[in-house]
Structure 1
Amino acid sequence: MPRFSANLGFLWQGLPLLEQIDRAAAAGFKAVEMHWPYDTDPLAVRDAAAARGVKVLGVNTVRGDVARGESGLGALAGRAAEFDAAIDQAVAWISAAGGTAIHAMAGIVAPADRPAATAVFADNLSRAADKAAAHGLTILLEPLNPRAAPGYFYSTLRDAGAMIARVGKPNVKIMFDAFHVGVAEGDILTKLEYWLPHIGHVQIAAVPSRAEPDEGEVHFPALFAALDRLGYDGWVGAEYRPRGDTDAGLAWVKALGVTL
């Protein structure tokens, strides 16, 4: 059975990060992952997680100017210095917190600009991967489906795989989010098996609602069985938007017969 991580970007929203870690541990999670935790002292996160027997996993790079609709900097022309600073920030924070990975956010790119943006992102990722490798960290690439993230640089696993091949760094991996794959591409189990050698992390949420993984189009017991059969030994991030109270929503754990 897979090991599950609580994504604190969505679960127990509104609480201070250290309290979110408390809630995750009390619920039975043995790992946590975050979106943009940079306003919290990483050493405090490290100590809080260690005291509760919880492993710290990954974070996202900052999105840029959110007020202008930015959602990452990695593929944006003329923004290399800002992306480098975002990587430096993420490397320093997650290393201090005792974590393992950074999701390098690519950003919103107009269709006409994507050929040039591909070269920009590849160059930026090459530098990012080297910085991350010096600290034993993985860089994760996550295609986002076009309904949830209109205009995002990439939406398919094939695009992420092509970028990994182009960059050629062993610590650049795919973040396989079953929600994004399900909405953008479908055929989740076949794609999971095909891309497994390049997968660094898995996330789950219901398709198409992005709620708890106990509804919708995906039969999650089959997905968990496939992960076991394929020998996946990483974590599965519970990155869903609760329908209501987070703790009440954790009834999916019992309903699916899994153990946190």
Structure 2
Amino acid sequence: MPRFAANLSMMFTEHDFLDRFQAAADAGFEAVEYLFPYDFPAEVVAEKLTNAGLSQALFNMPAGDWSKGERGLAALPERRDEFREAVAKAVHYATIIGTPLLHMMSGLADPRDPAAAASYRYALSFAAEKTAEKGIGLVIEPINGRDMPGYFLNDFNSAVALIDEFGPRNVKLQYDIYHRQIIHGDVLTSLGQMMQVIAHIQIASVPLRHEPGTGELNDAMIFAEIDRLGYGGYVGCEYRPLGDTVAGLTWLNKT
């Protein structure tokens, strides 16, 4: 059975954010992930994590003004200085909190735009260098255009090509099963094809992004394939519970 990490941005929202760490531990999780920790001092987040006996799986680098619809800075050439500051902030937080992975969001831009593509490659190179200096892995994630219209990195094959281009650096794939199914389908085959570059996996039902087992995919079969392929990382539960988070965890007890 894979090891699961609760996504505290979506799960346990019955509690204030800092109280979700203990709630996740009480529900049986051994690790957590979330979008951003930056509303709180890194030391406070680290203390909550330690007190709950949890491991940190990953979180995102700052992605601009989320409340205004911004979804990353990497592909935005006019935001390069802000991007560099975001990387420094993320690495600072990651070092204190103790996360092995940081996710770099691309931002909203046309992937056919040469300026956006050049900006993204620069950003990937810069972030890879700065995270590697601290022994932190860097992941990129294709996101479907239905949930996030206009997102620059919206294709798994393009993401893998970029990772191959960066070769020996610490850049890997964040493979979200929900996004994969919506963009391309063919989840089981692609897991096998891409496993060598996958550093983190996320799960949610398709099409409504609720608990595993409530959608069109055979999630139990997917979990079995993840195990068969020898994946040793966490599977992040990046889903929106249908109701109470704990009441909806019956799927976890069946895996």
TM range (shorter): over 0.9
Q: How many residues align?
A: 255
Task: Report 1:133-144 matches (<5 A).
Answer: 133-144=132-143
Q: Tell me, yes or no, if the aligned pair for 1:122 and 1:167 is still in contact at 8 Å.
A: no
TM-score, scaled relative to structure 1: 0.93
Give the whole-Å Cα distance in 2 for the aligned partners of 1:191 and 1:117.
27
Q: Which residue of 1 aligns with 2:51?
A: 51
Task: Report 1:81-160 matches (<5 A).
Answer: 81-110=81-110, 112-113=112-113, 115-160=114-159
Which amino acid in the other structure matches residue 57 of structure 1?
A
Q: Tell me, yes or no, if the aligned pair for 2:110 and 2:116 is still in contact at 8 Å.
A: no
Structure 2 unmatched runs, 5+: none
Q: Which residue of 2 aligns with 1:177?
A: 176
How far is the alpha carbon of 1:111 from its aligned partner? 5.4
Change beyond 3 A, Cα 1:82–1:58: same
How far is the alpha carbon of 1:165 from its aligned partner? 2.2
How far is the alpha carbon of 1:112 from its aligned partner? 4.9
* Aligned-CA RMSD value: 1.4
Give the whole-Å Cα distance in 1 for the aligned partners of 2:11 and 2:107.
24
Structure 1 unmatched runs, 5+: none
TM-score, scaled relative to structure 2: 0.95
Q: Which residue of 2 aligns with 1:238?
A: 237
Match of 1:246, SS state, is coil
Q: Tell me, yes or no, if the aligned pair for 2:37 and 2:45 is still in contact at 8 Å.
A: no
How far is the alpha carbon of 1:169 from its aligned partner? 4.5
How far is the alpha carbon of 1:12 from its aligned partner? 1.5
Give the whole-Å Cα distance in 2 for the aligned partners of 1:249 and 1:30.
18
Q: Which residue of 2 aligns with 1:194?
A: 193
Q: Which residue of 2 aligns with 1:211?
A: 210
Q: Which residue of 2 aligns with 1:24?
A: 24
Match of 1:200, SS state, is strand
How far is the alpha carbon of 1:159 from its aligned partner? 1.1
How far is the alpha carbon of 1:124 from its aligned partner? 1.0
Which amino acid in the other structure matches residue 151 of structure 2?
Y
How far is the alpha carbon of 1:9 from its aligned partner? 1.1
Change beyond 3 A, Cα 1:32–1:110: same
1:4 to 2:1 alignment: no
Give the whole-Å Cα distance in 2 for the aligned partners of 1:104 and 1:198.
16
